[in-house]
Amino acid sequence: MDYNILCQKREQLKGIYGKISKEALESFDKSFAIEYAHNSTAIEGNTLSLIQTKAVLEDGISIGGKPLREIYEVVNHNKAFEFVKKGIQEKRLLDENIVKEIHALLMENILAGGVYRNVEVRISGAKHKPPVPNEMYRQIKNFYADIQNSVYENDIEFAAWTHAEFVKIHPFVDGNGRTARMIMNYQLMASGFLPVSISKENRLEYFEVLEAYAVDGNLKPFAEMIAVLEEERLDEYIKLQA
């Protein structure tokens, strides 16, 4: 994926954004939020369908026969995404406080959020072993320092790194994946790009490219995946003005 093409499309969208009808933008944004909540929670095992997720988020309907936790997961995801969008509007730079608040919103009514783990954890089926608590604290401190002093000139790579490095550190007992996808989108939106949703159908490829970074330090496959998703979203919005 040519990063310059993505930048050109980003600028093209900026130029036409004001000409797209408010109704169309609202419809696209609402549809994305539902799809994003569905995919991000489904990747972690949530069994609500896309239609059921829509019913919960748009109509406030509780789905019979589904665990209460699954309802909370999609509701919380929507709250966290609203918080992210507000942070972008206020031009707040991603930092530890924002990350902890995102996690707390994602975990509301599920477990104590925004609290780093003090136990060892394992990622099922992965070669990578997250650091023990003492080492995790050191790595997460470095992570926030690196966020402020990015070595990536390419905004897509920087956003992908934010996700991949965070999930590699695995600072929370639960909710690391959802938080990582949120902070990646925070970085994308902060640089003028659109948020992306990784499809649950692409879960295996997604885990494999994250593993490539965690084990071998190879960010390229994951950054490429995000670049492709970003171009698809930019194209969708650009077509609205056609």
Cα 36 to Cα 198: distance, rounded to the nearest angstrom: 8
Alpha-carbon 174 to chain mean position: 15
Residue 198 has φ and ψ, to the nearest 5°, of: -85, 120
- To 5 degrees, how large is the angle CA 61–CA 62–CA 63? 115
Active site residue 163: no
Torsion of CA 119, 107, 103, 233, to 10 degrees: 130
Kindly calculate the radius of gyration of the chain based on its CA atoms and give it in whole angstroms.
18
Q: Which listed residue (38, 77, 103, 170) is catalytic?
A: 170
Tokens of 168: 């590699």
Residue with tokens 């950054």: 223
Asked whether the beta carbons of 178 and 40 are under 8 A apart, the reply is yes
Residue with tokens 């995801």: 77
Residue 40 exposure: Cα atoms within 13 Å on the Cβ side: 29
Which has the closest alpha carbon to 113: 123, 124, 94, 99? 99
Which has the closest alpha carbon to 103: 41, 163, 183? 183
Active site (catalytic) residues? 170
